[in-house]
Structure 1
């Protein structure tokens, strides 16, 4: 299990980010907090429908969506993109998790101490894992 605790405000900010991306039709197919033991930090991973060569443009698109969201006067706290890794639908972690977990919409599933397709997941909080 992770030694650095993931706090509720971070979880809510990550969910708000997914909501903002969804409202802009970003194409989020997976969203999860992933603990990285080498840095003792949590990273929010978002997988989208983009091809690998489109990821850079999707990162720029996400930055614009976040900026627009922050300009709203009543916008709740949204996760800073410095804590986010945006990957494609074919990322090995996402490809490994898809056959194991299905979570449409937005939810919360704790996933700890598992080896999936050769990838060890010490700790994760999954909010979406769509087919």
Structure 2
């Protein structure tokens, strides 16, 4: 494992202890990621030389739920995948001229560029 992966494994329990696992944007509590606000060196040392606690005090990291973390990186360019409901980028569907919003996993599962991405019959299922 690389330095980045080890840092996250070592610091996730510390982040949970300090924040209670609460997203700093929407206050959702549960699974979370540590979001780095920037990766600039501090006093000549890389950010992975510091603990979560030190970076948190410097306001360089925050705890985010998966949805807020995705929004942080992709902005408002997000919707839910038509097939599985996962939050994903609209850009993929627009650039490939697909009529539905689709996540990477469903795109691959449906055959990639050769797949059929037409909107399925959306009649109400009563039973």
Greater C-alpha Rg: 2
| Structure with higher RCO (Cα < 8 A, 6+ apart) | 1
Q: TM-score, normalised by structure 1?
A: 0.26
More helix by share: 2
Q: Which structure: greater strand fraction?
A: 1
